[in-house]
Amino acid sequence: MADDKVMLGHGSGGSMMKRIIDEVFFEAYGSDELLRGDDAAVLPALRPGERVAYSTDSFVVTPHFFPGGDIGRLALCGTVNDVATSGARPLYLSCAFILEEGFPMDDLRRICASMAECAKEAGVRMVTGDTKVVNRGHGDGIYINTSGIGAVPTGVDLGGAQIRPGDAVLVSGTLGDHGITIMSCREGLNFSADIESDAAPLNHLIADVLAAAPHTRCFRDPTRGGLASTLNELAAQSNTDITVDEQAVPVRDAVLGACEMLGYDVLQVANEGKMVCVVAPDEAEAALAAMQASPYGRDAAIIGTVAEADATRGPKVFLRTAFGSTRILDMLVGEQLPRIC
């Protein structure tokens, strides 16, 4: 393809748009359904008794490339993980690009290749999509929307409302990696230790946990607002109290040091490749072992417990500090790290 930059014509519906579809998107991940070129993908029926999980998300992060990933990997992992939190097997994805005139075509190819590689790892197929191009100065280079469909097996019913007093709370790995990576790239900060995004597809990890701990209550990815916001959402859904042991929460020293320097609470910093899991107490060790057996769960830990909420004040999340005291762990208010996904 002679074009070396995205132009308005690439979103016009004409020959230039056909070229970008044929020579960029089809070349990167052309499934049989996508290669048909229809406006909608007609997919095989799911097995009797299965339910469909569907999720969509948009990604506007800057910079577009960062240590550990890029906006394309982030978009694919984000939707795969959202679908997988329901216990579903993610199967099919759609992808829509909003491109700004002048965006480098080589960057677009690199992003598409990253998404194709991640889709292969997750075992999902890109089956439909859309492309629009906006005038120069009216966008931020590239925005991506991804939607996903998955099959929920019979008998699987996960959600925050399933949490019960006595349950154990687990996290699949170190916290704060993604948010601090994006902030350091955006602001030109240099740290003595390498910090990179944790963006990863976690559907296989989730499937392994469900096989080892069939009484798992729920999964939730602690993205915007971090662990603190996620746990507060789960406590509200289940009308329970959740207490977390600060010393049990896995955090890289470099990330913790960066948070202290920047004035951030690491428990409120975003993650894109971590999963919070609440399981029945007698299955906590089995769930932990399943996480740690995954390449994306080696640093997994049991970090807290669930208790009945005080009816006079409602559900709360508490943090048991390293000094032995206990404080309320609040949900993030406002924007701590804008545009981390």
- Cα–Cα dist 251/259, whole Å: 11
Structure confidence at residue 214 (pLDDT): 96
Structure confidence at residue 50 (pLDDT): 76
Terminal Cα-to-Cα distance of the chain (whole angstroms): 30
At 327, the amino acid letter reads R
- The alpha carbon dihedral of 226, 205, 178, 199 has a sign of negative
Rounded to 5°, the CA angle 148-151-154 comes to 155
Rounded to 5°, the CA angle 221-258-243 comes to 45
Of the candidates 24, 20, 1, the residue with the CA atom closest to the CA atom of residue 9: 20
- Cα–Cα dist 165/240, whole Å: 7
**pTM across the whole model:** 0.90
Rounded to 5°, the CA angle 333-185-71 comes to 80
Residue boundaries of the structural domains of the chain:
8-152, 160-328
Please say whether the beta carbons of 256 and 180 come within 8 A.
Answer: no
pLDDT in tens, the chain (341 residues): 567 899 878 876 667 888 888 899 999 988 888 887 766 576 777 777 778 899 999 999 999 999 999 999 999 999 999 999 999 999 999 999 999 999 999 999 999 999 999 999 999 999 999 999 999 999 999 999 999 999 988 888 899 999 999 999 999 999 999 999 998 888 777 765 688 999 999 999 999 999 999 999 999 999 888 999 899 989 999 999 999 999 999 999 999 998 988 888 999 999 999 999 999 999 999 999 999 999 999 999 999 999 999 989 999 999 999 888 999 998 876 566 666 78
Structure confidence at residue 332 (pLDDT): 72
Beta strands in 101-141 (DSSP E): 125-134
Of the candidates 25, 20, 22, 8, the residue with the CA atom closest to the CA atom of residue 133: 8
Structure confidence at residue 37 (pLDDT): 72
Q: Which is it for strands 89-100 and 51-59: parallel, antiparallel or unpaired?
A: unpaired
- Cα–Cα dist 246/248, whole Å: 5
- Cα–Cα dist 225/203, whole Å: 22
Non-local CB neighbours of 235 within 8 Å, separated by 6+ positions: 241, 242, 309, 315, 316, 317
Please say whether the beta carbons of 47 and 131 come within 8 A.
Answer: no
Alpha carbon distances (Å) from 171 to 84, 100, 149, 190, 273: 15, 38, 25, 28, 11
What's the token pair of residue 70? 């890029």
Collapsing DSSP states into helix, strand and coil, what is residue 12?
Answer: coil
Structure confidence at residue 12 (pLDDT): 62
**CATH T-level fold of 8-152:** 60s Ribosomal Protein L30; Chain: A; (3.30.1330)
Please identify which residue in the block is written with the tokens 């909608």.
40
CATH class as words, domain 160-328:
alpha beta
Structure confidence at residue 10 (pLDDT): 86
The DSSP bridge partners found for residue 55 are: 148
- C-alpha 52 chain-centroid distance: 19
The DSSP bridge partners found for residue 96 are: 130, 145
Of the candidates 111, 11, 113, the residue with the CA atom closest to the CA atom of residue 64: 111
Of the candidates 232, 58, 29, 12, the residue with the CA atom closest to the CA atom of residue 120: 29
Structure confidence at residue 142 (pLDDT): 97
Helices and strands of the chain, counted as H and E runs: 10, 13
The DSSP bridge partners found for residue 145 are: 58, 96
Please say whether the beta carbons of 118 and 73 come within 8 A.
Answer: yes
